[in-house]
């Protein structure tokens, strides 16, 4: 499965009410480190399909959700489980860091 794209209008339903953990990459198209993270996020979405939902939220387009979760720097990756934030990484941490976040919740 490919990466899911979240928005202010569907975040509650697709992330906070999800029946499995959700990894959300808060990003912007102009952000260099976000571009480095993008292919890794895409790969992990395929590898962990069915276990964890993995998606992206463009902070320029969806400012309400970014503000709600206090995202001040990008990329910020937040892991949600049962509607609550359980882990957060600010800045590009590489594949191993993202995988470690996933492994903590599955």
Q: Which of 15, 22, 24, 31 is catalytic?
A: 31
Q: Which of 34, 53, 66, 74 is catalytic?
A: 34
Q: Answer yes or no: 65 catalytic.
A: no
Q: Answer yes or no: 47 catalytic.
A: no
Whole-Å CA distances, 14 to 4, 31, 84, 89, 96: 9, 24, 13, 21, 25
Tokens 């906070």 found at: 16
Phi (first) and psi of residue 86, to 5 degrees: -120, -15
Catalytic residue IDs: 31, 34
């Amino acid at each position: 499965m490919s990466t899911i794209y979240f928005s202010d209008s569907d975040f509650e339903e697709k992330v906070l009410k999800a029946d499995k953990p959700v990894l959300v990459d808060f990003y912007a198209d102009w952000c260099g480190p976000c571009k480095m993270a993008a292919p890794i996020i895409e790969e992990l979405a395929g590898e962990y399909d069915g276990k964890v939902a993995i998606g992206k939220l463009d902070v320029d387009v969806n400012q309400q959700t970014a503000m709600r979760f206090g995202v001040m720097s990008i990329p910020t990756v937040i892991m949600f489980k049962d509607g609550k934030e359980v882990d957060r990484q600010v800045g590009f941490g590489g594949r191993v860091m993202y995988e470690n976040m996933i492994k903590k919740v599955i």
